[in-house]
Structure 1
Amino acid sequence: MKNLALIPLLFVLIACQSKKNETEKSYMVENTELSAAKTEKEDLKFKSTGIQTIYSAYASLRDALVETDFETAKKYAQQLSIALESESKMQEAGIASNIFSAGEIEIARRHFYELNEGMEAILEGNIESGKINKCYCPMALDNKGASWFSTKDEINNPYFGDKMLKCGVIKKTLE
C-alpha cells in the first residue's frame, strides 16, 4: 500500500521535470531568436545613434504588426514617437503617436502607411553600412498599395499579418 501512495508523487515529479525541460527549450528558442534579431541589426549601422534608435523602434513596430500583436505594436509606436521627437521629426512623431492611440490594429496599420511616407527621407543617406529594402504590397489599404522598410530579403507583410504574409515585392534598396 505504501508503494501505491508514491505513484501520485511520481507523476508530479515527472510532470515538473517535463515542464522544466519545456521552459529550458523555450528559453533557448527565445535566446536564439534574440540573437538572430541582434545579428540582423548589427549588420545595419547608421551615421547617428538617433537614427539607429528610430530604425530599431520602427523595426520592432513593423514586426509587431506582422505578428498582429496590437499591444506590442502600441508599445513600440510610443518608443518610436519619442525617438522621432528627439530628432525633431515632429510630423512622423505625431503619426507614431496616432498608432499608439489607435483603437484597433487595422487603424494602426493605416497610420503605419502614413508613417512610411516619411521614413524614406529619414533613412536615406543616413546608412553607414548594410542595407534596407523598401517593400511594397499592391493590395494593402483596399488595393491602394503601401510600403514598409526591412533589412530582410524575405517579405513579411505588416499590413496583412498572417492573412497574406508574403504579399509584396522589394521595390528599392537603400544603402
Structure 2
Amino acid sequence: MKHIIAVIGVLAVTSLFAHLNAQNIVLGPVLTDYYSVKDALVGSDAKAAAEKAGTLVRDIDGVDMHAIPAKDHMAFMSLKDKLAFDARHISESTDLAHQREHFASLSANMASLAKKARLSEQPVYQEYCPMKKSSWLSNDSSIKNPYYGSSMLTCGKVTGTLKP
C-alpha cells in the first residue's frame, strides 16, 4: 500500500512540474505566429503573410507580463518594440519584397529572443540564406527559404539549433 501511495505521489509531482513548465512558456504563441508568417512567405503568399503578421502583432502586444518568468521578461521587453515594428510593417503591406525585408529584421530579433528566453518545448532551428545574407527560425531542420519562396526553396543551411 505504501508503494502505491508513493507511486501516486511521484506521478502527481511529475504532472504538476510538467504543467508548471508548460505554463512558463508564455512567449510560445509569439514563436508560433512567427512560424506562420515564415510559412506564408515560403509560399510567396503576401496576403496570408499580412494576416499572420497581424496576429503576431496582437500576440506581441497581448503578452501577459505578469505571467512571464523574470529572465524571459527582461529579454522580451528589450525586443518587444522591434518585433512589433517589423510585424506591423509586414501586416500593413501586400508587397512581398517589402514584407521579406522586414522579415529579415524580424527574424534577427526573434533569434535574439530565442537565445535569451524560453519560447518552445521543441528545438528551434536557425537557418541561413547566403543569397540574402539573412537568417530565419524554423521548427523543422529542412530548408524552406522564406526570402525566395519557390524560386530558391531549398537555398540555405541550418546554422544552429536552440534547445529548449
Larger radius of gyration: 1
* Secondary structure in structure 1 of the residue aligned to 2:159: strand
Q: Say if 2:58 is the partner of 1:67.
A: no
Separation in 1, partners of 2:91, 2:118:
26
Render the CA deviation track for 1:43-86: whole Å, top value 9, x for unaligned. Answer: xx78323x111011111110000000111000000111111222
Moved over 6 A (4+): none
Could you say which residue in structure 1 is the equivalent of 2:84? 93
Render the CA deviation track for 1:87-123: whole Å, top value 9, x for unaligned. Answer: 3512211110011112410110000001012102222
How many pairs does the alignment contain? 126
Could you say which residue in structure 2 is the equivalent of 1:149? 137
Separation in 2, partners of 1:53, 1:86:
10
- Deviation, structure 1 residue 147: 0.5
Unpaired runs of 5+ residues, structure 2, are: 1-21, 64-76
Could you say which residue in structure 2 is the equivalent of 1:47? 24
* Secondary structure in structure 1 of the residue aligned to 2:55: helix
Q: Say if 2:76 is the partner of 1:123.
A: no
RMSD: 1.6
Separation in 1, partners of 2:119, 2:136:
17
Aligned CA distance change for structure 1 residues 90 and 46 (closer, same or farther; 3 Å): farther
Identity of aligned residues (%): 29
Q: Match of 1:156, as an amino acid?
A: K
TM-score, with normalisation over the residues of structure 2?
0.72
Could you say which residue in structure 2 is the equivalent of 1:139? 131
TM-score, with normalisation over the residues of structure 1?
0.67
Separation in 2, partners of 1:168, 1:46:
34
Aligned CA distance change for structure 1 residues 74 and 127 (closer, same or farther; 3 Å): closer
Could you say which residue in structure 1 is the equivalent of 2:66? none
Contact 1:134–1:174, Cα closer than 8 Å, also in 2: yes
Q: Match of 2:96, as an amino acid?
A: I
- Deviation, structure 1 residue 128: 5.4
Q: Match of 1:120, as an amino acid?
A: A
Separation in 2, partners of 1:46, 1:56:
15
State the structure with bigger RCO (CA 8 A, min sep 6), 1 or 2.
Answer: 2
Could you say which residue in structure 2 is the equivalent of 1:174? 162
Could you say which residue in structure 2 is the equivalent of 1:24? none
